[in-house]
Amino acid sequence: MNQIVKSASLSLLLMFALAVPGICDEKADLDSFPMPVGGMVALMQQVVYPKSASKDGIEGKVLISAVIDVNGKVSKAEIMSGVRQDLDQAALTAVQNIEWTPAMKNKQAVEAAVVVPVLFKLDSDKKK
C-alpha cells in the first residue's frame, strides 16, 4: 500500500455539494443537509495527500458519493469519479472516517445522499 503523508507544502482543497437530484429525489425538501461534524475544516484534516501522487506530480478531483444515515454514519460510500487509485482511496477514507451530522426533515434525522468533491492540488513549486 502506498505510504501517505501530511505536508504543509501541499495545498489540499475540499468542496462540498449536495447529491445530484437523481441520487435522492425523495429528500429534495430537506430542512438541512448532512455535514461533517466540525465542518469542512474537520474533513480537510482527515485527507492526506499520498506521497506517491505528490512525487509523481499528480493532481485532480475525486468525487465521492456517500449515504449518511440517521445516526450520522456513512452507510455507503463509493468513488463516482476518480483520478488514480491512491488519490481515490485517500478521498474515500476521509469521507468514511469523519463523523457526520445527519440531514433533517420535519425535525427528524433522515438518511440522505451527498456528493463530496475532493480536490488534490500541489503547490506550484512541487509540480513536476
pLDDT single digits (tens) 18-49: 443 334 435 458 898 899 999 878 887 888 89
Domain segments of the chain as ranges = 11-119
70-115 pLDDT tens trace: 999 999 999 999 999 999 999 999 999 999 999 999 999 999 999 9
- The yes/no answer on whether domain 11-119 falls in CATH 3.40.50 is no
Q: Taking Cα atoms as reference points, which of 69, 79, 65, 83 lies closest to residue 19?
A: 65
Q: Pick from 2, 93, 118, 15: which is nearest to 56 by CA?
A: 2
Q: State the pTM of this model.
A: 0.78
